[in-house]
Structure 1
Amino acid sequence: MRYAILAAALAASVALPRVAQATDLEVTHWWTSGGEAAAVAELAKAFDATGNKWVDGAIAGSGGTARPIMISRITGGDPMGATQFNHGRQAEELVAAGLMRDLTPIAEKEGWKNFIKPSSLLDSCTLDGKIYCVPINIHSQQWLWLSNAAFEKAGVAVPKNWDEYVAAAPALEKAGIIPLAMGQQPWQTSLAFQVLVVALAGPDGFNKIYKDKDAEFAAGAEMAKVFDAADKARAMAAKSNVQDWNQATNMVISGQAAGQIMGDWAQGEFQVAGKVAGKDYTCLPGLGVNEVIQTAGDAFYFPVLKDEAKSAAQDVLASTMLSPTTQVAFNLKKGSLPVRGDVDLAAANDCMKKGLEILAKGNIIQSPDQLFSADSLTQVNDLFVEFFKDPKITAADAQKRFAEIVAAAD
């Protein structure tokens, strides 16, 4: 839904002078899983090293839970020093209301356009020619994470693509293994669907849906194949009774489940658990069908503050987040790719290297967050929550409703 911005809160602020005075700065985010917490610690350590202090404002749950709280605080006159959003359209109303700082001066001073790659990341932080956020990583959704031990127990080879994975489901179930782990947070089911779109309808099909809002394509034969695959995924995940995404990831780590469709942030959980890519688990970008990297990810926005020292600290934090050292340390823990194209990632594991190779080839797409409004994405989320919970909803019925959402999307 849209968040109404009170007219009284819309006054644009004048630039404040910056003073070199260390201070505490509250940073809100929704990174609370084991891997995420380890990554956040790297950001906090880097910022604290500047003489300032990172005051952690973690909000348990997902972005869908945290964003309304963050927005309410900002519009209610109680802004934090910095806040996480996904780079895209999630904060555009706050920006339009004059409640977020214009970072263009520091971006131009440090030459962000010269090293943030791909350029679409910074474009997603830009409104009316001004830069309002710091993209900190590249997160791609298009991954299938597989437990090598689960397939060994079931007596089948680790799949190389989606079709082989689906074919292995009966043997997995016979061995007492849940084929597909999936949590019940609304975004997880729509994420799985989006991944299936890219894998089975290809990047062009994805763009027809999310970029072009092509309702005719959404209702057509190519998308019918995607909905049939979603129906199979629903059956494979029928016994996956967990809520959070990292709980589903832990099912794969423990071998209770064979696989999970999830973004590359799942790597952080495997790493915390001491699992080794290529040995303990296998990762298939694009479900082993269409190897594509989605240029989604996380960004930090900086609300307008009246405190001069805290405003100065915001500049320091923005700069620190993009430093080469911080980019490497944070992203190795997070499982994501750096936004800087000039850093050394020799320590990257097998899965991260796959992502870097795909990125280097230019096989990229934008994320739905960058293409659909928050309203439209909420409607998609609601549809797939219902679809995955209710087997009585046929794939054809879901496709018809999805096409209607696409037709009205903004």
Structure 2
Amino acid sequence: MKKIALGLSSLAISVAAATAHAGEVEVLHWWTSGGEAASINVLKDLMTEEGHTWKDFAVAGGGGESAMTVLKSRAIAGNPPAAAQIKGPTIQEWGDLGFLTNLDAVAEQGQWDVVLPQVVSDVMKYDGHYVAAPVNVHRVNWMWANPEIFKKAGASIPTTWDQFFEAADKIKAAGFTPLAHGGQAWQDATLFEAIALSKGSQFYSAAFVGLDDATLRGDDMIDVFKTFKKTRDYVDSGFSGRDWNIATSMVINGDAAMQIMGDWAKGEFTAAGKKAGIDYVCYAAPGTSGQFTFNIDSLAMFQVDDENAQGAQQDLAKLMLEPTFQETFNLNKGSIPARLNMPRDKFDTCAHASMDAFLAGSSTGDLVPSMAHGMAVSSMVQGAIYDVVTNFYNNESMTAEEAVDRLARAIKASM
């Protein structure tokens, strides 16, 4: 028995007929910050224009852990939402459990295999069939900086980790927080993987895609942990538990100089009325110029019984790939469209740099999935990495050598 509901009536509904009956679509997501909320409201409005009802089920938490907990409890109870924000290998896990429905009819009409890069379309499929629709592609390995603080501190924007620490010392001496950071496991992992990426895409892929034991235990990984722990000296005392967008606001408001965070942070600058290249600058995280850790946001569609809800589901998937939504959503969100060959004229210099790096990285091997954001490994392996990384960051006595051993052991136990 196929685990995707290939025979469900949703497949029998043509895309043209799906709009004939208004339906309700409940969407579970964690797009709750200022820039994210503005982005998802675009999709809500488009669904309303189609005659459907959008039932918002937002669960705050930038990494999505809380949302996933809620989704699991709903699914176990036999009452999953129509759509949920899940991504990467997690899509495969839900497909294996038999919860996802088929979007091939919409995908065929919208020519998704043509308009999506293969690295994106592959993630949206389970067992060769579309079960999710992408809204964007995020570049995770960004550094956001407040140029005014650098000017006051007499420091230069760093492009290597050695330069980062040189600049951070000057910024700290000038009375500013060098690195805005939120002490949450996923944010720790975001910083950690950016440092790992600076060792090269081949090293990164061997460690966090191939899960190669020798790489995980090697000298380069020990050095990654040492550099990671060193950054701890340059965050403020109130970082523990801080949400990512609050850390971004520290850079926006001139309290902190830098943040290592994906390009959803740009949505916060945009929401605050700030201009790229003037009020803030964007650079690849130190040592990662030309590389691209990707995080693809998507909505996976769950099996629902109501025929009108099935039609609303199909319309939702269709609208997500329409150029109008792809452009407006990503202008608000800070990301770049998942759809190829979109006009660039409304996007800023940071987005142009991201688009260029994405296209270049896809041909050089420097386009790699984000471990920290659920694109590279299973949720079990990711959780094991999170635990080791965040415990190390907050444990003054643990050595990098001990952390490397724990990391290799934890990954092996969770595979």
- Alignment TM class, shorter chain as reference: over 0.9
- The runs of 5 or more residues in structure 2 that have no matched partner are none
What is the SS of the residue equivalent to 1:275? coil
Could you say which residue in structure 1 is the equivalent of 2:245?
246
The Cα offsets for residues 304-334 of structure 1, whole Å up to 9 and x where unpaired, read as 1110001001000100000011100001100
Tell whether the 8 Å contact from 1:154 to 1:175 is kept in structure 2 after alignment.
yes
Partner of residue 229 from structure 2, selected from 228, 231, 235: 231
Q: State how 1:1-20 maps to structure 2 within 5 Å.
A: 14-16=7-9, 17-18=12-13, 19=18, 20=20
Cα deviation for residue 246 of structure 1 reads: 0.6
1:290 & 1:214 partners in 2: Cα distance?
24
Asked whether the equivalents of residues 162 and 288 of structure 1 are also in contact (C-alpha less than 8 Å), the reply is yes
1:225-268, Cα deviation, whole Å (9 max, x unpaired): 21221121122225342511111111111111111111110000
Q: TM-score, normalised by structure 2?
A: 0.91
Deviations 1:162-215 (A, max 9, x none): 32221112221122211111112210001111111112x110001110122111
Q: Which residue of 2 aligns with 1:67?
A: 68
Residues 399 and 83 (structure 1), Cα distance of their counterparts in 2 relative to 1, 3 Å cut? same
Aligned match for 2:397, one of 392, 396, 401: 392
Q: 1:355 to 1:13 in 2, by over 3 A?
A: closer
* Contact preservation (8 Å) 1:60, 1:66: yes
Q: Does 1:331 align with 2:336?
A: no
Q: 1:11-410 alignment to 2 at 5 Å? A: 14-16=7-9, 17-18=12-13, 19=18, 20-62=20-62, 63-86=64-87, 88-117=88-117, 119-199=118-198, 201-241=199-239, 243-361=242-360, 362=362, 363-368=366-371, 369-408=374-413, 410=415
Q: Residue 381 of structure 2 aligns to which amino acid in structure 1?
A: S
- The 8 Å contact of residues 5 and 101 in structure 2, kept in 1 or not, is answered as no
CA separation of 1:348 and 1:82: change in aligned 2, threshold 3 A: same
Q: Which amino acid aligns with 1:259?
A: M
* Structure 1 residues not aligned, in runs of 5+: 1-9
Is the contact between residue 12 and residue 97 of structure 1 (CA under 8 Å) also seen in structure 2? no
> 1:162–1:289: 8 Å Cα contact kept in structure 2?
no
Per the TM alignment, residue 155 of structure 1 is displaced from its structure 2 partner at its CA by: 2.4
Counterpart of 1:371 in 2: which secondary structure?
coil
Q: Is the 8 A contact 1:143 1:263 kept in 2?
A: yes
**Cα distance 1:289–1:316, how it changes in 2: closer, same or farther (>3 A)?**
closer
Matched position secondary structure for 1:71: helix
Q: TM-score, normalised by structure 1?
A: 0.92
Q: State how many pairs are aligned.
A: 398
Task: Tell me by how many angstroms 1:13 deviates.
Answer: 7.5
Contact 2:136 2:335 (8 Å CA) reproduced: yes
Query: Equivalents in 1 of 2:236, 2:403: separation in Å?
Result: 17
Q: Is the 8 A contact 1:178 1:240 kept in 2?
A: no
Q: How far 1:288 moved relative to its partner?
A: 4.8
> Comparing 202-211 with 290-299, which one deviates more in the overlay?
290-299
8 Å Cα contact 2:192-2:228 kept in structure 1: yes
SS of aligned partner of 1:301:
strand
Is the 8 Å Cα contact of residues 202 and 290 (structure 1) preserved in structure 2?
no
The question of whether the paired residues in 2 share the 8 Å contact of 1:147 and 1:252 is answered with yes
Aligned to 1:7: none
Identity %: 33
Offset at residue 160 of structure 1 (A): 3.8
Give the superposition deviation at 1:90.
1.3
